[in-house]
Amino acid sequence: MEFSKLNSPTLKDLFIKELETMILSGKLQIGEKLPSERELAKSMQVSRAVVNSGIAELSRKGFLNIKPRIGAFVADYRRNGTMETLISIMKYNGGRLRDAEIRSILELRIALDTLAVELCIPIIKEYEIKILKGYVNKMKETDSVETASNLAFQFQHELAFLSGNTLLPLIFHSFKVPILSLWERFCILYGIDSLINNTSILCDYIEKKDTKKAIECLTTNINDTINGKRQIYY
């Protein structure tokens, strides 16, 4: 059995985590100006280099807004954030998304998955259908929530790739962490068989090249998790 190498967080990592926690908890309010780098370094007992690089990273992730020669301000991260911002929010919430974020991701998935199906079905080839069916067959062989969720993600990512739209698989892959989190929660609430069945039925419609039924299948499944009989948030 192999074990993963353990790595201690750097001072920069600890600095970033501390400020993210203060921002997400509301201790640092949106629009609030941070103390100077010198003051932060002295208060937190780290070097100015750690503070400088940490602030730059927090700015890149959408948590801070840096105004040259004026200072760093807490940004409206929900308006200006990135996928990394969402992942930080998940970590702050113990790995769980808030209801509003869950609903938003599911609504976005309807748009992305519908486009993938519409573009994919007219051009998909037999060997590509076999690739999709391969993921479904592997799902049927596992009793692991994590494995089933990963296979479902691979199925959807492959579908996005087969659409021929070069941006769709990139966009879908950028949501990998939260999407896996949602599928794992779905499996815990309703069982792996429910996820397998949904994916299998969608695959069958794709094989039959029935665009209308495929779209109806995926939109019904996702809407059920938003406000239907299989909600994954309350």
Taking the C-alpha atoms of 232, 111, 211 and 142 in order, what is their torsion angle to the nearest 10 degrees? -40
pLDDT, mean of residues 165-169: 93
| Pairwise CA distance, residues 148 & 44, whole Å | 43
pLDDT score for 7: 66
C-alpha distances (whole Å) from 87 to each of 163, 168, 175 are 27, 20, 9
User: Residue range 42-48: average pLDDT?
Assistant: 93
Output the average pLDDT for the chain: 89
Q: Are 163 and 111 in contact (CB under 8 A)?
A: no
pTM higher than 0.85 = no
Instruction: Give the pLDDT mean for 92-101.
Output: 70
Q: Which two tokens stand for residue 182?
A: 């949602």
Predicted confidence band of residue 138 (pLDDT cuts 50, 70, 90) = very high
pLDDT, tens digit (0-9, with 9 covering 90-100), for 204-216: 999 999 999 999 9
